[in-house]
Amino acid sequence: MSIPVPSLPVPALVRHLAGDAALTPVWENGIGGLTFRTDDGRYIKWGPHDPEASMRDEAERMRWARHWITVPEVLTQGEDATHEWLVTRAIPGYSAVDPRWKDEPATTVRAVGEALRMLHDALPVDECPWEWSVASRIARAESWGAEIPDALRDAPPIDKLVVCRGDACLPNTLLDDAGRGTAHVDLAALGTGDRWADIAVASMSTLWNFGPGWEDTLIEAYGVEPDRERLAYYRDLWNAG
């Protein structure tokens, strides 16, 4: 994701959803999806249909997950033939990759690891209606044309089944002013799976945001010893599709 320029044109539907509120661009993703913040405490996501992560799926999962953890409240969600949109109530806090934390990787990485463990401990596996298993992920990736190497079809045995957040990259955890992980965003892929599926992606994303040297810090903060086999497998699966 990237931060769009302030002069980015505002889609007509976003302007309609915002009403009289002023808009500030927040994110632009690789397929042209946009996120705006309003000055009355909302976030508006708008973009083309994405086979990998629908906003309808995200809305359903946030409505479910907020019974146990802090996630944005869904205000409205919709779609038409070409685009979809999601409006949520803003949550206090900063993304873990906000400039506020640019020079404090130790604080940020540990906070994300601890917040991921709290999410896994809080969400009830038996009540979760979705899965993020290896088989379901491979089937979904192949449905949009990804080619999955045969070696990835032989997954390691599940270490611990949890409700995975599905996209545990650093930007999707919010931190408070004290540097503690307080909330989670972007939950479109939430579902049951091996906890290492999330740990692998979260620790790998430290490389993208802070450079080498922080992967094991996140895993330590989560509270486990690094499992190199599962880390390698789930990172390869993530990168494949």
User: pLDDT value at position 176?
Assistant: 95
Structural domains in the chain, sorted by start: 12-89 (3.30.200.20), 94-240 (3.90.1200.10)
Split at pLDDT 50, 70, 90, the class of 7 is low
E strand spans, the chain: 23-28, 34-38, 42-48, 74-79, 83-89, 94-95, 161-164, 173-175, 181-184, 191-194
Task: Record the tokens describing residue 171, joined without a space.
Answer: 């930007």
- Reduce the DSSP state of residue 17 to 3 states and report it: helix
Among 15-29, 60-74, 104-118, the minimum mean pLDDT is found in 15-29
- Reported as a single tens digit per residue, the pLDDT across 192-224 is 999 999 999 999 999 999 999 999 999 999 999
Q: Are strands 42-48 and 34-38 parallel, antiparallel or unpaired?
A: antiparallel
Please state the residue numbers annotated as binding site for Mg(2+).
172, 186
Residues 76-104 have a mean pLDDT of 93
pTM (2 d.p.): 0.92
Active-site residue identified among 167, 194, 198, 227: 167
Q: Does residue 1 register a pLDDT over 50? A: no
- Reported as a single tens digit per residue, the pLDDT across 221-241 is 999 999 999 999 999 999 998
> Which residue is it, tokens 């809305």?
59
User: pLDDT value at position 29?
Assistant: 83
Provide the angle, in degrees to the nearest 10, between the axes of the packed helices 195-210 and 228-240.
70
Edge-to-edge strand list for the sheet holding 94-95: 94-95, 173-175, 181-184
Please state the residue numbers annotated as binding site.
172, 186
Q: Does residue 2 register a pLDDT over 80? A: no
User: pLDDT value at position 52?
Assistant: 79
User: pLDDT value at position 180?
Assistant: 95
User: pLDDT value at position 6?
Assistant: 61
126 a catalytic residue? no
- Reported as a single tens digit per residue, the pLDDT across 134-193 is 999 999 999 888 899 999 999 999 999 999 999 999 999 999 999 999 999 999 999 999
- Reduce the DSSP state of residue 209 to 3 states and report it: helix
Alpha-carbon span 193 to 195, nearest angstrom: 6
User: pLDDT value at position 194?
Assistant: 98
